[in-house]
Structure 1
Amino acid sequence: MEENFDPVARTRANYYTPGSPVQFVCVELLKGEVSGDHAVCLTFKNISRVTLTALEIHFKCKGVDGVILCEDQFEYRDIEVKPGESFGMDDAVFVTQKAITSVDVSLKNVYSGKKVVHLDAIKRVRLPAPRRLSPELQKALEARMNRQGMKYMPQVFENGWYCACGSFHPKEEDTVYCSECGCDRILLQNALNTLLQPEKKEPAPAAEPVCPAQSEADERTRVIGADPVPPAAPVRPAAPVQEEPTRVVSSFKAEPEAEATRVMPTPKLEKPASFEPVLDRAADDEGTRVIPSTRKEPVRPAEPEDYEEDEPNDARDSVAETLIRWVPPLTAIVCAAIALWGFVYYQFMM
């Protein structure tokens, strides 16, 4: 009597076998509609580049209290699984009336025609748990990728990579496409990076402080009657305040008699030009004005020196100069002669 089984739970494998052409993907727990029996179905995937014809496994089913309910071998025979295809999800490996909490699967032998790969001695590697996305990020990623079930963070490890759908692809599979959801790993990662980047918002202009110096300048402007600077115009601290320079009002032109004395530039001479007061009596009503004189001071001829008084000094200077000039070379010649005589004496006389 055939019976329909409804899915109760589905759990992905948290370990894999390095170097195996077959990957254990997930375990699914089913329950019969009439009898209420529990059945276990295992799903495998061919990650090699050849067609697989058989698979031998060893499994353990545990109950609620951790007691092993069943431990047995199972064989998938007369199969023809092409690269990238999954199999085993339609075959129940164990049926029991008790509730099953966990299933442990070990790969034994994989067959491809007459070729066999033994996996008994290979130690299984536990996989890190996938990271769950937030509901908002999940919806955004599903909308961008136009797919459903994008619940997990795409991750790349040394031994493989996780897809957003939760499937793990070991490095032996050597693919960038997910065999379950069809996502491209690179496009998926780029889409997620785009969603994770914060939106660039234009910064709101900050309230610019009013310079106290400008306030004082405005007050001064109002005092002298100039046009005041509008208070609403902000003053940027970086730019200097363009204040109106203080205007110097020229004084009234003084009368000729009150005009200040002007100093005229003098030509460059060896000696500084002397300013001599010159009395200008052309107009008696005007006061005496001091006009700088541009006349050069007459150069007086140098008075001849009295050479008669300096004759004794000059004679002594000439003698001293002669001694200074000839004493050193004569001294050197005498020393050389003494050294030569001493050399000859010791060589031939003694």
Structure 2
Amino acid sequence: MEENFNPVARTRANYYTPGSPVQFVCVELLKGDVSGEHAVCLTFKNISKVTLTALEIHFKCKGVDGVILCEDRFEYRDLEVKPGEMFGMDDAVFVTSKAITSVDVSLCNVYNGKRVVHLDAIKRVRLPAPKRLSAELEKALEVRMNRPELKYQPQVFENGWYCACGAFHPKEEDTVYCSECGCDRILLQNALNTLLQPEQPAQTEPELETPLAPQPEQEEPTRIMGAAPVQPAQEEPTRIMGAPRRPQPQEPAAEPTRMLDDGMREQFPDRAARAQAEEGTRVMPAASRRAQPAAQQPEPDYEDNEEYEDERDSVAETLIRWVPPITAVICAAVALCGFVYYQFVL
């Protein structure tokens, strides 16, 4: 009498065997619709680059309170499993009427024709539990990837990676495509990152537009301000600097020389004429005033000295009054010319 077995529960393996060409994927519990008995089916996947022909395993089925219901070996024979294909889901390794709570599976030997790989001595590695996505993020990821049952967060570890469907792919498999749901690992991670940061593109555009908008407004005042003061700033220093520079060639040592030579002016009239000519070139024309009192007063040399000191005071006043503003104007003109040259010429 034939009986149909319907799936009751399905649990993925939480460990794997490093270096094995076969991966234990999941255990499935089926229940007969007539007898009510439970059948245990195991699913394996070929993660190697060759075709597998046989597999030997050792399993334990435990019931309530961890009681071992069955412990035995099972052999999958006459196989022709190509790389990436799954097998074993149609073969029941144990049938019982009692409730089964867990199944432990150990890989023993894997065959490729006459070649065999012994896995009994390899220690199994426990896998971290996959992280469940929220309901909203789960639906959004399924729509974006056009795949059902994407309930978990993609994760990459040192020994492999988790797909969003919950399938674990060890590094021995060496693939970026999930053999169960067909998702690309890189595209899946990019889609999830986009869903986790939906507002990032909207925030990036205003940040780029904000500094670019006021740039024309900042450049226009610079060009307008640079055009007006260029010519006056260059002409004003030329006219102002001519006045204070004229008394600079008059050295104080020349005046004592003329005062000591008063007694010799009659003997050297040419020298006296040259002295009068030199006095006439001064900015302050005091030579004529010094000539008349020189004949009336007995000490013309001291009067001439006093007038010379008064003249120097006026020159110093002129320098103190005009040098600071002239210097400020020159500095401003030089800075402005350099700025205009940089903006319009370069």
Q: Does TM, normalized by the shorter one, top 0.5?
A: yes
Q: After TM superposition, give the deviation of residue 202 of structure 1 in Å.
A: 6.0
Once the two structures are TM-superposed, the CA of residue 299 in structure 1 deviates from its matched residue by 4.8
DSSP 3-state at the match of 1:137: helix
Q: Which amino acid aligns with 2:165?
A: C
Letter in 2 for 1:32: G
Deviates more, 1:89-98 or 1:189-198: 189-198
Residues 302-340 of structure 1: per-residue CA shift (max 9 Å, x gap)? 979xxxxxxxxxxxxxxxxxxxxxxxxxxxxxxxxxxxx
**CA–CA distance in structure 2, aligned partners of residues 87 and 110 of structure 1:** 13
Deviation at 1:296, TM superposition (A): 2.7
Aligned partners of 1:163 and 1:195: how far apart in 2? 17
Query: Which residue number corresponds to residue 137 of structure 1?
Result: 137
Pairing of 1:160-171 with structure 2 (within 5 A) = 160-171=160-171
CA distance in 1: counterparts of 2:136 and 2:32, whole angstroms: 37
| Aligned counterpart, 2:286 | 296
Q: Aligned equivalents of 1:2 and 1:132: distance in 2?
A: 39
Q: Does 1:45 align with 2:34?
A: no
1:125 and 2:125 are equivalent in the alignment: yes
The answer for the alignment partner of 2:279 in structure 1 is none
- SS of match in other structure, 1:176: coil
Unaligned stretches of 5+ residues in structure 1: 206-238, 240-265, 272-293, 305-350
Shift of 1:194: 1.1
- CA distance in 1 between counterparts of 2:203 and 2:70 reads 64
Provide TM-score, normalisation by structure 1.
Answer: 0.60
Partner of 2:156: 156
Q: 1:7 and 1:85 mapped to 2: Cα distance?
A: 21
Q: Does 1:11 align with 2:11?
A: yes
Question: Is 1:69 aligned with 2:69?
Answer: yes
**TM-score, structure 2 as length reference:** 0.61
Counting only pairs closer than 5 Å after superposition, residues 40-119 of structure 1 correspond to structure 2 as 40-119=40-119
- Closer/same/farther in 2, CA of residues 129 and 299 from structure 1, 3 Å limit: farther
Corresponding letter in the other structure for 2:3: E
1:79 corresponds to which letter in structure 2?
L
Counterpart Cα distance in 2 of 1:133 and 1:199: 19
Higher relative helix content: 2
Aligned to 1:212: none
- Measured in 1, the distance between the counterparts of 2:136 and 2:159 equals 30
Letter in 1 for 2:137: L
2:11 aligned with 1:21: no
Q: Residues 168-197 of structure 1, C-alpha deviation per residue, up to 9 Å, x if partnerless?
A: 000000111100001111111111111111
In 2 relative to 1, CA 50–138 (structure 1 residues): closer, same or farther, beyond 3 Å?
same
C-alpha distance in 2, partners of 1:75/1:101?
23
Instruction: Name the counterpart of 2:31.
Output: 31
Q: Structure 2 CA distance, aligned partners of 1:44 and 1:72?
A: 18
Distance 1:28 1:162 in 2: 20
CA separation in 2, counterparts of 1:148 and 1:75? 33
1: CA distance, partners of 2:24 / 2:203 = 51
Q: Which residue is equivalent to 1:181?
A: 181
1:231 aligned residue: none
Q: In 1, distance between residues paired with 2:290 and 2:97? A: 140
The CA deviation at 1:47 is 0.4
Q: 1:155 to 1:104 in 2, by over 3 A?
A: same
Whole-Å separation in 2 of the counterparts to 1:79 and 1:202: 57
CA distance in 1, matches of 2:123, 2:203: 55
C-alpha distance after superposition, 1:114-161 (max 9, x if no partner):
000000000000000000011111111111111111100001100000
Question: Match of 2:59, as an amino acid?
Answer: F
- What's 2:147 paired with? 147
Give the length in aligned residue pairs.
225
Measured in 1, the distance between the counterparts of 2:49 and 2:191 equals 30
4+ residue stretches of structure 1 with deviation over 6 A?
300-304
- Cα distance change, pair 161–296 in 1 and its aligned pair in 2 (3 A): same
Larger RCO (CA within 8 A; separation ≥ 6): 2
